[in-house]
Amino acid sequence: MKKSISLLLSLFCFTSFAQITVIESDISEVGDIVYQGYDSSPLSSLSIGNPGPNQVWDFSSLQQDLLKTLNFVDPSTTPYGSLYSNANLCMVDNGSYLYFNKTNTGLYLHGLGDTVFSAPALYYPLPLTYNFTASDGPVIILDNTVSGGILSSLLDSATVASLTQGAFYSADTAVITITNTTDFDVDAWGEMTTPLGTYDALRFKTIQTTESVLDVYVSNPSLSIGQWLYDIPFASIPQLSGFNNNQIEYKYQWITNDPAVEFLLLEVFVDASDNIINGISFQSTPPSTAVNDVFNRYVTVYPIPSKDYITIDVLQGDLYNISLYGNNGKSILESTITNTTDIDMSHYSSGIYYLKISSKEGHLVKKIILD
């Protein structure tokens, strides 16, 4: 009997790890809300570990200094959606809009806000499994001409004179070209533990090389002469002195296909020697989760889906703040209630909305589908 128990325990330990594959359906989709925590001063003992199979990563000690919310919405509902006819997913991050096209071969970034890339950049190749490698680029993601007030504020007469030893004083036109080359490597698999829990995960390494070329046409108006200055170093321009024309960024992410959570568990940036730099981002939960479990018992929202109204049924006596968000992440209704209340939805377009209800007892977010 003891041998049988030992065998069962051995089998259990052996199968507790799983080498997973991450596919298109595992990546965030329209309607998802992701809470991302940030530890600005993680323990120095934390390490990204080693490449290879059957790894164990323990980041359970992370503390949440900041929490931000990422909303994944339909691009057509956003301010710049008309610029991105090929995008099918938009991530709203604290007022920034990132536009993607998600396919079974990868997640492609098409632009940021009103800056549409010249060519889409591969963000995640798919499917992902252990020992997968790929490269993307070089891809020219930006090739823009700048003039007028924006250029004048960047390159004033004193800066132009300094760059040309006093021969020219005006920056008339600038052309900036940004080229990205990205190398991807799934170099490990195993078990990742964060404050959210323990999950089977792949370690996904990204090395992104960015090359920026700035060419400027300068002139001397009094002499009616001008010339091009090519490949200007950012360091020679006071407003850009903190940037380099050529940069390399090293990043590790731990991703999962566990349906209980979103696919991205944790993200760190490292130096060329794999030392963690700055803080650590990790998937989190809405604040006061334990309290919310009790809170949810006393707050209900119906009917879902709805055609013209929704009812918010609450425990009388408390003050509740309600916020209704459109699918673009912007608030379209703010109010307070103290008892059961009907919300008229008839003047809103069909689609997906998010209702946040909060009080001193906790909060919840409900997805509202309006037919």
Q: Which of 40-44, 213-217, 260-264, 354-358 has the lowest mean pLDDT?
A: 354-358
Taking 80 as the threshold, does the pLDDT of residue 338 lie above it? yes
What is the predicted pLDDT for the residue at 38?
92
> Cα–Cα distance between 126 and 108 in angstroms, integer?
10
Note the Cα 145 to chain centre separation in Å.
Answer: 28
Higher pLDDT, 129 or 2: 129
Q: Could you please state the CATH topology (level 3) that the domain comprising 289-370 is classified under.
A: Immunoglobulin-like (2.60.40)
Question: Over 90: is that where the pLDDT of 181 sits?
Answer: yes
Give the domain ranges of the chain. Answer: 17-284, 289-370
- Percent of the chain past pLDDT 70, that is, above it, reads 90
- The average confidence (pLDDT) of the chain is 87
Higher pLDDT, 360 or 9: 360
One-character DSSP codes across 267-313: EEEE-TT--EEEEEEEEE--SSHHHHHHHGGG-EEE-SSBSSEEEEE
Q: Residue 336 has which token pair?
A: 């307070």
Residue 275 confidence class, pLDDT cut points 50, 70, 90: very high
Which pLDDT value is given to residue 240? Answer: 86
Alpha-carbon distance of 256 to 251, in angstroms, equals: 17
Model pLDDT, residue 39: 92
**E runs forming strands in 292-370:** 300-302, 309-313, 320-325, 331-337, 341-344, 351-359, 362-370
**Quick one: the chain helix, strand, coil %, rounded to 5?**
15, 50, 35
Tens digit of each residue's pLDDT (9 = 90 or more) over 203-259:
999 999 999 999 999 999 888 999 999 999 999 998 888 889 999 999 999 999 998
pLDDT at 354: 80
Evaluate if residue 363 carries a pLDDT over 90.
Answer: no
Question: 8 pLDDT exceeds 60?
Answer: no
pLDDT over threshold 60, residue 319: yes
Residue 59 pLDDT grade (very low, low, confident, very high; cuts 50, 70, 90): very high
Q: Work out the average pLDDT over 184-192.
A: 97
pLDDT in the model for residue 328: 62
pLDDT for 152? 87
Report d(CA 311, CA 299) in Å as an integer. 10
Determine the Cα–Cα distance for residues 202 and 234; give it in Å rounded to an integer.
37
Residue 305 has pLDDT above 50, yes or no: yes
Report how far residue 48's alpha carbon sits from residue 330's, in angstroms, rounded to the nearest whole number: 36
- pTM, full prediction: 0.71
**How do 170-194 and 52-58 pair as beta strands?**
parallel
The structure tokens listed for 272 are 């060329």
Pure H helices in the chain: 2-15, 148-154, 157-163, 289-295
For residue 82, what pLDDT band results from cuts at 50, 70 and 90? very high
CA angle 282, 87, 113 (to 5 degrees): 70
Confidence of residue 304 (pLDDT cuts 50, 70, 90): confident
Buried b (16+ CB within 10 A) or exposed e, 320-333: bebbbbbbbbeeee
State whether residue 246 is helix, strand or coil.
strand
Residues forming beta bridges with residue 22, ordered by sequence position: 128
Average of per-residue pLDDT across 127-153: 92
Q: How many whole angstroms separate alpha carbon 71 and alpha carbon 34?
A: 7
Confidence (pLDDT) at 15: 41
Mean pLDDT over 60-75 rounds to 90
pLDDT score of 371: 79
- 3-class DSSP state of 84: coil
Please tell me the least confidently modeled range out of 25-39, 154-168, 285-299, 315-329.
285-299
Percent of the chain with pLDDT over 90: 58
Least confident segment among 48-62, 186-200, 356-370: 356-370
What is the structure's pLDDT at 327?
A: 65
Query: For residue 295, what pLDDT is reported?
Result: 62
pLDDT of residue 13: 40
- pLDDT of residue 9 exceeding 50: no
